[in-house]
Amino acid sequence: MKKVEAILKPFKLEEVKTALIKAGVQGMTISEIRGFGRQRGHKERYRGSEYTVDLVPKVKLEVAVSDAALSSVVEVILKSARTGELGDGKIFVHPLEQVVRVRTGEKGESAL
C-alpha cells in the first residue's frame, strides 16, 4: 500500500476530489496548509536585497491506495490538478505499512 500526499491549489480541490471518487478511491483526508516551492512563494526569485519567504495557502490531500491503484491515482491527480502555471503543487508517494479499520479491526488492503 502507498499513501499519496498531494499539495494542490485550493481552487482545484473540487475537481481533483470528483475525479478521484470517479476513479474509485474509498476515502481521503484534506487539510488547509501553507507552503512554498522553488519560487519561495514569489513570482520572482529575489525582491531587491530583502530576502523573504511567502507561505502560500494550499490544500493537502492524502489518500491511501493499494499498490495496484497507485499509478492511476497519480495520473488522475496530475490531470485534474494541473493548470500549467507555477505553484501547481507536488505529489509525494510514501510507503504505507499498515491500515486498520477501527470499527471492524480489518487490516491491510481490505481496510482501505
Ligand X SMILES: Nc1ncnc2c1ncn2[C@@H]1O[C@H](COP(=O)(O)OP(=O)(O)OP(=O)(O)O)[C@@H](O)[C@H]1O
Interaction site with ligand X (CB under 6 A): 7, 35-39, 56, 58, 86-90
Q: Does 39 bind Mg ion (CB under 5 A)?
A: yes
Rounded Cα distance between 51 and 46, Å, is 7
Is 9 or 17 the residue whose CB approaches ligand X more closely? 9
Q: Does 87 bind Mg ion (CB under 5 A)?
A: yes
Is 22 or 82 the residue whose CB approaches ligand X more closely? 82
